[in-house]
């Protein structure tokens, strides 16, 4: 049995109700779709709406790689089972591409290229006419080179097409009774490294272990462990800095992080902010 339960539907305002109708229309026009499904809140909403409209003609595919936390992979399976959608896991090999591991500012382009070069032929072989992703309208305002890779391969982004923002994704998820409507965003672990710092399997593992350690100690909400060389920089929301210091056994945290290979552990006093590492690009 799944340890989740549907919520009571939250009402929608007229504008958001119209956007949901437009989402339904997109999938009604499709014969069948394959969803690039990370298990994050955005692609999970797409999977839910696609399944509601298409049933077994919708398929969710999760790409497993070293940049995905095992706990997040497991969560994607639980959520897919809860929705009822068919779900498969495929392996991707971006770690074999030096254009990715060298971590240039367009690293995400090579990651999404690998993803959709895997999904597109799979969709064709299995008879799925569309590949869709969970890109939302807010993502279009950030530096996202992966968007170009997806567009080059004909991937559609239904949420962005109907101008659904991140907060609206959460509102719709709550309305549709999904228990994870307030789930924190969890981009791939490669986003924890400043551009130009080489990404290795070992570095991904220790960042993953560090973030999972904090989750396992009961931390809820946004959390990042940025890897700056051998320094771990922990980010939580600025209004929760005191809560973090009071709730964590700092001596144990420091000891464990050192065991993972970090030589210094810092707490970012500015607080968590999505896309913070893109500030370096803006300055250039």
pLDDT 10s digits, 168-202 = 999 999 999 999 999 988 889 999 999 999 999 99
Contacts of 10 (CB under 8 A, 6+ apart): 171, 174, 175
Tokens matching residue 126: 């299995």
pLDDT tops 80 at residue 281: no
**CB-based burial of residue 74 (10 Å sphere; 0-12 exposed, 13-18 middle, 19+ buried)?**
exposed
Q: What is the pLDDT of residue 143?
A: 86
pLDDT digits (tens, 9 = 90+) for 94-127: 999 999 999 999 999 999 999 999 999 999 999 9
CB atoms within 10 A of CB 95: 18
Q: Measure Cα distances from 51 to 32, 58, 85, 226 in Å.
A: 10, 6, 6, 36
**pTM of this prediction?**
0.91
**Calpha distance 193→282 (Å, rounded):** 17
CB 47 within 8 A of CB 129: no
Q: What is the pLDDT of residue 10?
A: 67
Q: What is the pLDDT of residue 253?
A: 97
| pLDDT-based confidence at residue 1 (cuts at 50, 70, 90) | very low
Q: Measure Cα distances from 128 to 4, 60, 137, 170 in Å.
A: 30, 11, 25, 28
Q: What is the pLDDT of residue 274?
A: 78
**Of 224, 194, 186, which is closest to residue 207 (Cα–Cα)?**
224
**Of 1, 195, 169, which is closest to residue 101 (Cα–Cα)?**
195
| pLDDT-based confidence at residue 142 (cuts at 50, 70, 90) | confident
**Calpha distance 51→141 (Å, rounded):** 28
Q: What is the pLDDT of residue 19?
A: 97
Query: Bridge-partner residues for 34, per DSSP?
Result: 59, 131
Q: What is the pLDDT of residue 2?
A: 44
Q: What is the pLDDT of residue 276?
A: 72
For the chain, the average pLDDT equals 93
CATH code for the part of the protein at 14-175: 3.40.50.620
Q: Measure Cα distances from 33 to 27, 147, 163 in Å.
A: 8, 19, 20
Domains of the chain, by residue range, sit at 14-175, 189-283
Mean pLDDT calculated for residue range 16-36: 96
| pLDDT-based confidence at residue 273 (cuts at 50, 70, 90) | confident
| pLDDT-based confidence at residue 4 (cuts at 50, 70, 90) | low
β pairing state of 231-236 and 223-228:
antiparallel
**Calpha distance 170→181 (Å, rounded):** 5
């Amino acid at each position: 049995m799944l340890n989740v339960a549907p919520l009571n539907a939250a009402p929608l305002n007229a504008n958001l109700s119209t956007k949901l109708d437009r989402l339904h229309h997109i999938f009604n026009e499709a014969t069948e779709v394959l969803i690039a499904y990370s298990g994050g809140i955005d692609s999970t909403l797409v999977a839910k709406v696609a399944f509601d409209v298409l049933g077994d003609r919708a398929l969710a595919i999760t790409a497993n790689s070293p940049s995905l936390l095992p706990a997040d992979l497991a969560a994607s399976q639980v959520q897919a089972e809860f929705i009822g959608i068919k779900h498969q896991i495929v392996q991707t090999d971006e770690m074999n591409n030096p254009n990715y591991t060298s971590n240039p500012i367009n690293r995400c382009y090579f990651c999404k290229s690998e993803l959709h070069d895997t999904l597109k032929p799979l969709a064709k072989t299995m008879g799925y006419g569309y590949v869709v992703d969970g890109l939302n309208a807010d993502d279009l305002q950030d530096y996202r080179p992966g968007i170009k890779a997806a567009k080059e391969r004909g991937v559609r982004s239904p949420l962005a097409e109907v101008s659904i923002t991140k907060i609206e994704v959460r509102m719709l998820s709550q309305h549709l009774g999904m228990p994870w409507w307030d789930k924190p965003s969890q981009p791939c672990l490669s986003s924890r490294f400043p551009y130009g710092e080489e990404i290795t399997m070992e570095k991904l593992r220790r960042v993953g272990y560090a973030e999972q350690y904090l989750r396992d100690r009961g931390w809820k909400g946004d959390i990042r462990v940025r890897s700056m060389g051998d320094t771990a920089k922990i980010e939580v929301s600025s209004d929760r800095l005191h809560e973090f210091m009071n709730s964590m056994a700092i001596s144990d945290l420091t000891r464990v992080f050192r065991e993972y290979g970090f030589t210094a552990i810092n707490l970012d006093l500015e607080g968590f902010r999505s896309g913070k590492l893109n500030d370096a690009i803006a300055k250039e």
